[in-house]
Structure 1
Amino acid sequence: MFARSSVARGLAKAPRALRAQSSRTLPPATAVSAFASSSRVAGVRMSSQLATFKIPEIDNEPMRSYPIGSADRKGLQEAVDKMLKAGPFEVPCVINGKEVKTGNLQAQPMPHDHANNLCTYHAATAEIVNKAIEDSLAARQAWEEMPWADKAAIFLKAADLIAEKYRFELMAATMLGQGKNAWQAEIDAAAELCDFFRFSVKYVEELYANQPPRNSQGVWNRTEYRPLEGFVLAVTPFNFTAIGGNLVGAPAIVGNVCVWKPSPQATYSNYLVHKILLEAGLPPSVVQFVPGNPAEVVQQCIDHEKFAALHFTGSTHVFRKLWKDISSNLEKYRGYPRIVGETGGKNFHLYHPSADIKSGVVQAIRAAFEYSGQKCSALSRVYVPKSLWNNGFKEELITQTEGITVGPCTEWNNFTGPVSGRPAFDKITGIIEQAKKEGGKVIAGGKWDDSKGFFIRPTVIETSDPQALTMTTEIFGPVMTVYVYEDADFEKTCELIDNTTEYALTGSIFAQDRQALVTAAHKLRNAAGNFYINDKSTGAVVGQQPFGGARASGTNDKSGSITIFSRFVSQRSIKENFINPEEYIYPSNLV
């Protein structure tokens, strides 16, 4: 839908006499217009807008499937081989578009081959972080004043560069550095990242077009969507390259400047995304790339007086601490910082006695074990009625789980790969062992090997305790726990699900009985920000299923939708009067 400029919307409502004189008296459009001649007023560069532009039609990036013998498979294999041969790479900090090397080198090991590094990166010093902040602030005004269509063009070009020129290289970096197989890398580093950038343009155009619907006679009302005063800190996770790009892209496209603190386990792929943004024309000081010690970099940023917002994806524990730290600094900030975060989950599948067993098991396998369960939406707890469990569900689940191929991303046949690193490996295996001590029964998987890579077999635990450790604690690994309930207790099980954990990210209901679907959707209304009916708990698509959860799972600001952008703007309502009053007395004052 073509977003009309604020001028066009205002004139459509204005009296005819005002419309007639608009070419002489009204200021130029600023909301969705672009390509300008420049002048200076009081030392500030002003851009006069010469047209209103319609963005290209936006749709989801087509997925590629990489079948045997295809050009896509050949191209991706060549990119992986080339990267393995050329690595390890050296990644600098990037300040104002220039490489800065501190000499304090940290490693990003490959999780499938942890003796070898994909890259080493220069950890930022306090001086580098300060320069990143100050120089981004110095660039803020020029970026804010760049016409909207030029900002849009940068992100549309970045998406096209990812879709074609850099697709295989970025996927290879995601596979080798973050342990994804080809399909998971395609979903993430190619399709979803393209979608984030393209739909950002679409949604911001719609946001800017949202103008006051009424104008009194002689008055023109309009709304301006200003970037925040200060800088945005983006703290990005290891598990999705696309999330890294979106956490800086969403605030930047509406005129904010950002300091990007990438995950140590995704440094190289994130560095490539930053390079692509610069190649697409992003001014070099708009996003500063600052790898380094997470706690030190983040603390320095939120202690700065011009810290304006946090855009975060990571653990609930860290997010809560950052919220507390930010709140303790309120007196030093110019305004109240925006805090936008997506954190943990303890996601569920609930099966009704009428559910189909075969498809239900397939959906569980994919939701729990794709990318070794390292998605914030990954399935972790499963509720199955006794009638299904004893009549095929259990047997089918065990058979399919035991048949899953696990191994490095360099081998095409592997359905899933390693977990991210030593801390994750130790945590996950420790939880499995503790679950067995507490009475949980491992019915599939339960084996691991860290001799070369951090590999854990997809594991299914059966428990008779709905409050067991693995039913309540976020694991972030390939572990699914099944609780079998009495068929007559379906509604009670809905209430159990809603009150078992502190999280509320994703969840699914499986049933052929429509009333059961209605009942579950009602009783589980607050148990998940993304709720699926006869579909797995993972796989949200930008522009189709806005993503995010509430409770301990985050602020539920819904990435992949228009709502996320409202968090990174500060609206200004403008009222312009064209009729000069001649006296202050109102008719009601007359006697």
Structure 2
Amino acid sequence: MTTTQHEAFTVHRPADPVVVPLPLPPAGHFIAGAFVPGSADSPRIDVVNPATEEVIASIHAGTAGDVDTAVAAAVEAQKSWRNTTPKERADVLNLIANIIEANRAAFEAIESANTGKPPAVAEDDVTSTIDTFRFMAGASRTLTSMAGGDYATDHTSVILREPVGVVGVITPWNYPLLMAAWKIAPILAAGNSIVLKPSEQTPLSTLKLAEVLAGRIPDGILNVVTGQGRIVGQRLSEHPDIALVALTGSVTSGQAVAETAGRSVKRVHLELGGKAPVVVFPDADLQAAAAGVRNAGFWNAGQDCGAACRVLVHEAVAEEFTRYLVNEVGTLVVGAPDSGADVEIGPMISRAHFERVKESLADARAAGLTIALGGSVLEGTGYFIEPTVITDVPSRAPIATHEIFGPVVTVETFSSTEEAVRRANESPYGLSASVWTRDSSLTLRVPKQLDFGTVWVNSHLVLACEVPWGGFKGSGYGRDLSLYALDDYSRTKHVMINHGA
């Protein structure tokens, strides 16, 4: 194994930390438009700032009974909410967007403290959250369906799109506010009510959203129950009054939800993990590709299911590309969110996840892989890991096939287009990929051959509310964003009228 240190990474920390009280939300469950305490015998769960390892709040560990109470509220609210017009629902979504905008500073502060996100990432999350609600407000008024008409003699058919009912939502820890918006906006737009379980590690921005919406939107259409997935998530998945469960999370979590939901044949919407290949052909702009991986591989410290974490580069340009990549990644600034606007990489979300990423790096060292940059934890307070580039990775190496979910990018080589496509598709995941080439033929041919829900060409991790996001294979099924999400959260009914009798 050859290890080269480009330049030692250090964690930027505030020289004189200024203690500014966080605008924390109440710690109870949010049910029927108000915060309520958890069950008397339920324990509390500490919420930790991953940059300082300090406990910043504690939340209630919800019970099955808490879920039942929230579902009952959602069922009651659904009776009137389902009958609202698209305009009325759009007005509510636009109001939500306006309220988030008015409380932007509070959301950014909470998100940074709870997740360790640098200011630029937290700001982008809030901006994207607002845009998600605004898009879905408009999209809810433009639904299209099959045209009504006489498809059988003397019978007129009408196609209706109806709400599915109460939707159970389970959101992840890596983008707590934004992933909540990706679910809440289309679910409400389609006329459904919600019971949402945020990650117990990062629940604060979701609870803050509930707080600022209380009394401003119809009671009961959005309910939040905090707690562990094995209890709250399990009850959402099995509850007879929940029509659909939507989850963004790990493959393991998705399998558990799908298995439980399957017993009652309820619909499931799963956005799971990813291991996005970045296929760099010899004619590509190598500097642009390296810069693209710097941004898309390390955004949110690599804690992103679409991260550009697995590079497949043609052997003829591998050395040159790797040099560019190491130089690019070597300029990343690691630090606590409050240590400056130039910070780009924050900590891992938790001690447990920090240990998982550390173990993956230890396995890479034990396997004799070349660590071209980084590869170590950063000493001191907080769950910080060096931005890492691992090169000369052989086919099917564990570090290139399992999801690390940290600031780690691997580099493999290929010798032909056919090999590149085959190797990219060997992944058990099918969420996203990118292709880097100047060859117009390859830009058309290769994306069609890649088994991923999103394929970028000469970019990576560029998202827009107008286009769908979701995967194939182990990455789940269903689509977030776009009109496809509205389809997922509604049902089709055919009404046929006999007018010939």
Same fold (TM over 0.5): yes
Structure 2 contact 197–233 (Cα < 8 Å) conserved: yes
What's the CA shift string for 1:240-296, capped at 9, x where partnerless? 2111122233222222221110111221111122234435x3212111110012210
Question: Is 2:398 the counterpart of 1:477?
Answer: no
SS at match of 2:337: coil
SS at match of 2:169: strand
User: In the aligned structure 2, how far is the partner of 1:449 from the partner of 1:574?
Assistant: 63
Aligned counterpart for 1:401 among listed residues 329, 332, 345: 329
Change (3 A) 1:261 1:387: same
Question: Is 2:455 the counterpart of 1:535?
Answer: no
SS at match of 2:277: strand
Change (3 A) 1:272 1:571: same
Aligned counterpart for 2:119 among listed residues 182, 201, 207: 182
Q: Which residue of 1 aligns with 2:482?
A: 561
What's the CA shift string for 1:49-95, capped at 9, x where partnerless? xxxxxxxxxxxxxxxxxxxxxxxxxxxx9xx978x424666521111
User: In the aligned structure 2, how far is the partner of 1:136 from the partner of 1:214?
Assistant: 35
Change (3 A) 1:87 1:157: closer
Q: Which residue of 2 aligns with 1:172?
A: 109
SS at match of 1:410: helix
Aligned counterpart for 1:286 among listed residues 212, 221, 237: 221
Gaps of at least 5 residues in structure 1 are 1-76, 331-335, 582-591
Aligned positions of 1:79-98 closer than 5 A: 84-86=20-22, 90-98=26-34
Gaps of at least 5 residues in structure 2 are 1-13
Q: Which residue of 2 aligns with 1:297?
A: 232
User: In the aligned structure 1, how far is the partner of 2:294 from the partner of 2:414?
Assistant: 20
| TM-score (structure 2 length as normaliser) | 0.90
What's the CA shift string for 1:184-211, capped at 9, x where partnerless? 112212x22122212212222222x535
Q: Which residue of 1 aligns with 2:50?
A: 111
Q: Which residue of 2 aligns with 1:413?
A: 342
Aligned pair count? Answer: 480
Aligned positions of 1:304-323 closer than 5 A: 304-323=239-258
Q: Which moved more, 1:122-131 or 1:439-448?
A: 122-131
Corresponding letter in the other structure for 2:432: T
What's the CA shift string for 1:154-175, capped at 9, x where partnerless? 1011112223x11121111111
Corresponding letter in the other structure for 1:496: R
Structure 1 contact 88–117 (Cα < 8 Å) conserved: no
User: In the aligned structure 2, how far is the partner of 1:580 from the partner of 1:343?
Assistant: 50
SS at match of 1:146: coil
Change (3 A) 1:157 1:89: closer
SS at match of 2:35: strand
User: In the aligned structure 1, how far is the partner of 2:448 from the partner of 2:107?
Assistant: 42
User: In the aligned structure 2, how far is the partner of 1:125 from the partner of 1:381?
Assistant: 40
Aligned positions of 1:283-432 closer than 5 A: 283-327=218-262, 329-330=263-264, 336-390=265-319, 392-411=320-339, 412-432=341-361
> By how many angstroms is 1:308 displaced?
0.9
User: In the aligned structure 2, how far is the partner of 1:520 from the partner of 1:86?
Assistant: 48
Aligned positions of 1:97-136 closer than 5 A: 97-102=33-38, 104-114=43-53, 116-136=54-74
| TM-score (structure 1 length as normaliser) | 0.77
> By how many angstroms is 1:345 displaced?
0.3
> By how many angstroms is 1:143 displaced?
1.5
Q: Which residue of 1 aligns with 2:423?
A: 496
User: In the aligned structure 2, how far is the partner of 1:224 from the partner of 1:517?
Assistant: 39
SS at match of 1:302: helix
Identity %: 23
Change (3 A) 1:173 1:495: same
SS at match of 1:183: helix
User: In the aligned structure 2, how far is the partner of 1:184 from the partner of 1:86?
Assistant: 18
SS at match of 1:509: strand
Q: Which residue of 2 aligns with 1:157?
A: 95
SS at match of 2:181: helix
What's the CA shift string for 1:351-392, capped at 9, x where partnerless? 1110112111100111111111011100111011233223x3
Aligned positions of 1:241-256 closer than 5 A: 241-256=177-192
> By how many angstroms is 1:442 displaced?
0.7
Larger radius of gyration: 1
Higher relative contact order (CA 8 A, sep 6+): 2
Corresponding letter in the other structure for 1:174: E
What's the CA shift string for 1:503-547, capped at 9, x where partnerless? 1111111111223333422332x2x111011112x131211x321
User: In the aligned structure 2, how far is the partner of 1:368 from the partner of 1:570?
Assistant: 37
Structure 1 contact 373–477 (Cα < 8 Å) conserved: yes
> By how many angstroms is 1:213 displaced?
4.2
Aligned counterpart for 2:493 among listed residues 560, 563, 572: 572
Q: Which residue of 1 aligns with 2:6?
A: none
Structure 1 contact 88–120 (Cα < 8 Å) conserved: no
User: In the aligned structure 2, how far is the partner of 1:523 from the partner of 1:303?
Assistant: 38
Aligned positions of 1:60-79 closer than 5 A: none
